[in-house]
Amino acid sequence: MLKVSIVGGSGYAGGELLRIALSHPKVIVKQVTSERFKGEPAVLLHPNLRGLTDLRFDSINSLKKSDLLFISLPNGVSMGYMRNFLKTSGRIIDLGADFRLTDPRIFQDWYAKSHQEPGLLKKFIYGLPELHRRDLKKAKFVACGGCEATAIILALYPLVKERMLAKDGIIADVKIGSSAAGNKPSSASHHPERHGVLRSYRPTNHRHQAEIEQEIGLDVEISATAVNLVRGILATIHTQVKRGVEEKDVWRAYRKVYKNEPFIRIVKQKQGLYRYPEPKILWGTNYCDIGFEKSQDSNRLVVISAIDNLVKGTAGQAIQAMNLMYGFKETLGLDFPGLHPI
């Protein structure tokens, strides 16, 4: 059995990671940390786990050795602890942003601070199996992708690989639920302010643009909108394909690149309520659903992707990477199909 610990287990992503890990047949969770809630039972913050665990939150300073360390800390925090984390485990999966970018100068540009461990950046593999499966099987250090970046990269990757896109002017309109902001209250998350919103909170200059450019070489402008959901991301991406590309060619590209991917589904139906990807039916799942529509009168192609930001966008991606690192079946612990209706 693989002995793992979770650093930062009181947040939403850490709780989702704990939920999946507790049900994984090859994993034993040794410790879960929280500085704010040390000594308290984990189910105090994650009541859905009642009866599944008697773990209590420990301090980071009391971490014991484990086979694998998951890190789920706010952006900018894990790099300050990383040298100490390496003393407790030889393998690390970081769910945060600190080690996603391989160039410290780009990190500084987007996060407005110098990286504390620039020499470690290139040791981390970006955590998307659909792009880096071979490297993840040999990896010791993994940095999971940002949730918005994950939805956008997976939507565009086959089109990039098959060289179908005219690269200029790609815009991703991303609508996202409140859990992506974490569980620390703020004026923006106060219920009277958050309820019912369609709030544009990052019309330009979204940090995840740097990951997208690094991973698929595209300059994608992101406009992010907070919506009245707890979970879920819907990315509607406006692109132009090269002259002569037909809708059947787009179909062919997705089928070719994703034909053996266990968590990618192409959703483009002519009838029914869910003709295109819909985040609601993905709650709790590790799937990324992708659809598209090409204009009949122009080269405009709209690509639509949906994920649960806490699963495929964070914790499920981490477990999928772990499965590859240790030679487990890639889908192990991630086979929940979602619920309908909900």
Task: List, by residue number, the catalytic residues.
Answer: 147
* Pairwise CA distance, residues 35 & 1, whole Å: 27
Which of 137, 140, 134, 91 shows the shortest CA–CA distance to 325?
137
Q: Tokens 């080269």 identify what position?
A: 299
Ranges assigned E (strand) in 247-330: 264-266, 288-294, 300-307
Q: Return the H-helix or E-strand segment holding 135.
A: helix 129-136
Grouping H, G, I as helix, E, B as strand and the rest as coil, residue 268 is: coil
Return phi, psi of residue 203, to 5°.
Answer: -65, -30
User: Is 99:118 a contact under the CB 8 Å cutoff?
Assistant: no
First CA to last CA distance, the chain: 35
Cα of 226 vs its chain's centroid, Å: 17
CB 103 within 8 A of CB 121: yes
For 122: left if phi > 0, alpha if psi spans -120 to 50, otherwise beta; the answer is: alpha
